[in-house]
Amino acid sequence: MNNIRTDLALEAKELWEEGAKETTTLQGVKAKEYQCEGFVCEEVRILDERGEHALKKPVGTYITVNLEGLLTGEEGIFQRAIQVMAKELSQLLQPKQTQGLVLVAGLGNRAITPDALGPKVHDYTLVTRHLVEHMPEQFGGFRPVISLATEVLGTTGIESGELVQAVCEKVKPSCVIAVDALAARSLERLCKTVQLCDTGITPGSGVGNHRIGLNERSLGVPVISIGVPTVVEARTLAIDLLHGQTHPLLEQGEGLFVTPKEIDRQVNEFAKVIGYGIGMALHQGVCLSDLEYLLG
Tell me if 80 sits within 8 A of 70, measured CB to CB.
no
> Is residue 111 involved in binding a copy of itself (CB under 8 A)?
yes
DSSP-assigned states of every residue in 56-82:
TS-SEEEEEEE-TTGGGT-TTHHHHHH
Distance CA 287, CA 133 (A): 21
One symbol per residue from 206 to 225: x for binding a copy of itself (CB under 8 A), - otherwise; what is it? -x------------------
> Is residue 145 involved in binding a copy of itself (CB under 8 A)?
yes
User: Judged by CB under 8 A, which of 5, 57, 120, 129 binds a copy of itself?
Assistant: 129
User: Judged by CB under 8 A, which of 22, 23, 99, 255 binds a copy of itself?
Assistant: 255
- Nearest distance from residue 258's CB to a copy of itself, in Å? 5
H or E stretch including 160?
helix 160-171
The one segment of 15-23, 56-64, 88-96, 242-250 that binds a copy of itself by CB under 8 A:
242-250
> Is residue 294 involved in binding a copy of itself (CB under 8 A)?
yes
CA 146 to chain centre: 18
Distance CA 124, CA 126 (A): 7
* 126: phi then psi, degrees, rounded to nearest 5: -80, 115
One symbol per residue from 54 to 93: x for binding a copy of itself (CB under 8 A), - otherwise; what is it? -------------------x----x---------------
- Nearest distance from residue 48's CB to a copy of itself, in Å? 34
Handedness of CA 57, 179, 282, 167 (dihedral sign): positive
**Between residues 36 and 146, which has the closer beta carbon with respect to a copy of itself?**
146
The one segment of 51-59, 81-89, 257-265, 274-282 that binds a copy of itself by CB under 8 A:
257-265
Distance CA 143, CA 127 (A): 9
Q: Binders of a copy of itself among 176-205, rule CB under 8 A?
A: 187-188, 190
> Is residue 151 involved in binding a copy of itself (CB under 8 A)?
yes
Dihedral angle computed from the Cα positions of residues 264, 265, 267 and 270, in that order, rounded to the nearest 10 degrees: 180
End-to-end CA distance of the chain: 42
Residue from 105, 87, 145, 143 nearest 225 by CA: 105
- Nearest distance from residue 177's CB to a copy of itself, in Å? 13
Interacting residues toward a copy of itself by CB under 8 A: 73, 78, 111-113, 122-123, 127-130, 144-149, 151, 153-159, 162-163, 165-167, 169-171, 187-188, 190, 207, 234, 237-238, 240-242, 247, 249, 252-253, 255-265, 290, 293-294, 296
